[in-house]
């Protein structure tokens, strides 16, 4: 099955964890809102009131889908900005409680970069390791959170590279015990899986659930201390600077509503396709390591590494065969370093392929992927002089 | 980025074979290791000299997958590591 959102009709798009194609309902909502939601929602005349009504309606819908109150939800310009503001703003607000930040070793780079700023400002960061599946070491996490002076703990709902779901309920219990707020980066699960509980701060990104790019969500639970790390601004309850992109926010809410409504059946369907890849790849291709937790995982992500294969060569071949996938191998990264996630897990970093299925992925495309992969890997190994 | 405290000189068993993969990108150091591990006797040590950060994490992962033993990784004076692997079978 091919989709209107792929201009190249031959491409099977398997990179939903990078960005999910725009949901048709988001597209419809976006076009309508461009006409009626363009005015400044902070003003008092008719078109402004209409823009404000659309914005607040979107806020209510997003809040409901994420298990929050509307006044806890602020829209940012990206998921990354939501994380930067969530991490640095909570640390700023809790300065008097301490200057220790606890994160897992496999968080999104935006968390690690915010942690870097905190360290340069004289704060301290404790990075908690993960096991072979990518799940955080809960014993170490508990010890780190309970240590004196911990201001904030961060844990993703599911890992963006390997799909492993983190033990949020257990982490939240530890944080509650310590009186430390927990920031949950829900970028990979918002809309696809039920929203976790127990967080003080939640972040997400609309383009990961089929909304447009340029909309992130920062949810701050009532009672959580938070102070903007940026210059003051009136927008979004003084939490996010800059004029809101109302049409994109309206489209983001429409996509979330549609994705949540579909997720019961669609997540189960995609999860079954992922299971098929997890089972078939090691059966069809020798010397492959399938990575991440086989059960406690996001429905749409599967990652594997092929021994003796250069990741870039495999991505190039897959692209030629019409498959859009990504990789955590160093040769595919601008930094020429392997993914910090794969490194922290202690799994193979070379020959790495992440397949992440968008809504509507057909079983036919998955079958075609499974049928071309073995010969592709064999040929790359042969060219590299590997005895097979 | 070290996983071993000891220096290669201080480790219990000297390598029976040293593979120079300095300047080579992953997966080449691992391809070289896989091709030559059987050149040492069982329980013998192969030292892979590598400076690609991917080799630092991938050689221990290869050992786990292939049931060989990663003895340790020792920083080299200039750059990179001597990554010691014991042939288990």
Q: Is residue B30 part of a domain?
A: yes
What are the residue numbers of the active site of B?
26
Amino acid B1: pLDDT: 42
Residues with Cβ within 8 Å of residue A88, at least 6 apart in sequence = A114, A117, A118, A229
Amino acid A7: pLDDT: 54
Amino acid B2: pLDDT: 44
Amino acid B6: pLDDT: 46
Preferred mutation among B2, B26, B63 to probe A, highest tally of A CBs within 10 A: B26
DSSP secondary structure string for all residues of A46-110: HHHHHHHHHHHHHHHHHHHHHT--GGGEEEES-HHHHHHHHHHHHHHHTTTT-SEEEEETTS-HH
Residue B3 has pLDDT above 80, yes or no: no
- Please list every residue in chain A whose beta carbon sits closer than 8 Å to the beta carbon of residue B34: 307-308, 386
From B56, B81, B25, B52, select the one nearest A384 (Cα to Cα).
Answer: B25
Distance from the Cα of A248 to chain B's closest Cα (Å) equals 40
Q: Is residue B8 part of a domain?
A: no
Q: Where are the domains of chain A?
A: 12-21+263-383, 24-257
Instruction: Give B12's pLDDT tier (boundaries 50, 70, 90).
Output: confident
- Please list every residue in chain A whose beta carbon sits closer than 8 Å to the beta carbon of residue B35: 386-387
Q: Is residue B3 part of a domain?
A: no
Classify domain A24-257 by CATH architecture: 3-Layer(aba) Sandwich (3.40)
User: What's B25's domain CATH number?
Assistant: 3.30.110.40
At the top level of CATH, which class does the domain A12-21+263-383 belong to? alpha beta
Q: Is residue B6 part of a domain?
A: no
B26 to A329: CB separation less than 8 angstroms, yes or no: yes
B31 to A350: CB separation less than 8 angstroms, yes or no: no
Residue B65 has its nearest CB partner, among A289, A309, A329, at A289
Residue B50 in 3-state DSSP?
Answer: strand
CA distances from A57 to A162, A204, A304, B4, B53 (A): 34, 18, 41, 57, 49
Residue B30 has its nearest CB partner, among A308, A338, A346, at A308
A330 to B54: CB separation less than 8 angstroms, yes or no: yes
Q: Does B61 touch chain A (CB under 8 A)?
A: yes
Task: Find the helix packing angle between A46-66 and A24-36, rounded to 10°.
Answer: 150
Preferred mutation among A130, A341, A349, A386 to probe B, highest tally of B CBs within 10 A: A349
Q: Is residue B64 part of a domain?
A: yes
Amino acid A330: pLDDT: 80
Task: Provide the number of structural domains found in chain B.
Answer: 1
Give A 289-308 residues with CB within 8 A of chain B.
289, 307-308
Amino acid A6: pLDDT: 54
A194: buried, middle or exposed (CB in 10 Å: 19+, 13-18, 0-12)?
Answer: exposed
Instruction: Give B8's pLDDT tier (boundaries 50, 70, 90).
Output: low
pLDDT in tens, chain A (388 residues): 445 555 556 799 999 999 999 999 999 999 999 999 999 999 999 999 999 999 999 999 999 999 999 999 999 999 999 999 999 999 999 999 999 999 999 999 999 999 999 999 999 999 999 999 999 999 999 999 999 999 999 999 999 999 999 999 999 999 999 999 999 999 999 999 999 999 999 999 999 999 999 999 999 999 999 999 999 899 999 999 999 999 999 999 999 999 999 999 999 999 999 999 999 999 999 999 999 999 999 999 999 999 999 999 999 999 999 999 999 988 777 777 899 999 999 999 999 999 999 999 999 999 999 999 999 999 999 999 998 8
Task: Output A165 or B3, whichever has higher pLDDT.
Answer: A165
What residues are paired with B70 via a beta bridge? B85
Q: Is residue B11 part of a domain?
A: no
Range of the domain at B70: 18-86
């Amino acid at each position: 099955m091919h989709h209107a959102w792929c201009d190249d009709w031959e491409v099977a798009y398997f990179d939903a964890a990078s960005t999910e194609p725009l949901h048709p309902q988001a597209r419809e909502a976006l076009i309508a809102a461009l006409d009626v939601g363009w005015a400044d929602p902070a003003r008092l005349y008719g078109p402004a009131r209409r823009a404000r009504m659309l914005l607040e309606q979107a806020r209510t819908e997003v809040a409901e889908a994420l298990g929050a109150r509307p006044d806890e939800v602020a829209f940012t310009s990206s998921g990354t900005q939501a994380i930067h503001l969530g991490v640095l703003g909570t640390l700023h607000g809790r300065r008097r409680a301490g200057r220790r930040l606890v994160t897992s070793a496999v968080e999104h780079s935006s968390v690690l970069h915010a942690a870097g700023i905190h360290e340069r400002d004289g704060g301290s960061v404790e990075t908690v390791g993960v096991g072979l599946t990518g799940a955080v070491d809960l014993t170490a996490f508990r010890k780190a959170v309970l240590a004196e002076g911990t201001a904030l703990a961060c844990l993703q709902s599911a890992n963006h590279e390997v799909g492993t779901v983190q033990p949020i309920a257990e982490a939240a219990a530890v944080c509650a015990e310590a009186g430390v707020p927990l920031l949950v980066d829900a970028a990979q699960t918002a809309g696809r899986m039920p929203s976790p509980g127990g967080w003080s701060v939640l972040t997400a990104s609309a383009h990961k659930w089929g909304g447009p790019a340029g909309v992130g969500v920062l949810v701050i639970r009532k009672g959580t201390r938070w102070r903007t790390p940026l210059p003051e601004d009136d927008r979004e309850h003084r939490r996010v600077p800059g004029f809101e992109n109302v049409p994109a926010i309206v489209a983001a809410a429409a996509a979330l509503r549609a994705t949540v409504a579909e997720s019961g059946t669609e997540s189960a369907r995609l999860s079954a396709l992922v299971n098929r890849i997890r089972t078939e790849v090691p059966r069809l291709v020798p010397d492959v390591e399938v990575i991440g937790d086989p059960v406690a995982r996001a429905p749409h992500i599967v990652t594997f590494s092929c021994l003796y294969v250069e990741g870039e060569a495999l991505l190039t071949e897959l692209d030629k065969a019409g498959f859009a996938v990504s990789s955590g191998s160093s040769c595919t990264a601008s930094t020429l370093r392997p993914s910090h996630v794969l490194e922290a897990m202690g799994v193979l970093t070379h020959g790495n392929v992440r397949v992440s299925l968008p809504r509507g992925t057909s079983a036919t495309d998955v079958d075609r992927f499974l049928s071309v992969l073995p010969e592709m890997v064999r040929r790359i190994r042969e060219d590299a002089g590997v005895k097979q | 980025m070290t996983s071993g405290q000891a220096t290669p000189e201080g480790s219990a068993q000297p390598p029976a074979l040293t593979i120079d993969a300095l300047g080579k990108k992953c997966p080449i150091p691992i391809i070289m290791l896989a091709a030559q591990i059987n050149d040492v006797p069982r329980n013998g040590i192969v030292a892979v000299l590598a400076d690609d950060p991917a080799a630092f994490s991938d050689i221990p992962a290869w050992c786990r997958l292939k049931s060989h033993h990663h003895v340790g990784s020792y920083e080299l004076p200039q750059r990179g590591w001597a990554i010691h692997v014991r042939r288990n079978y």
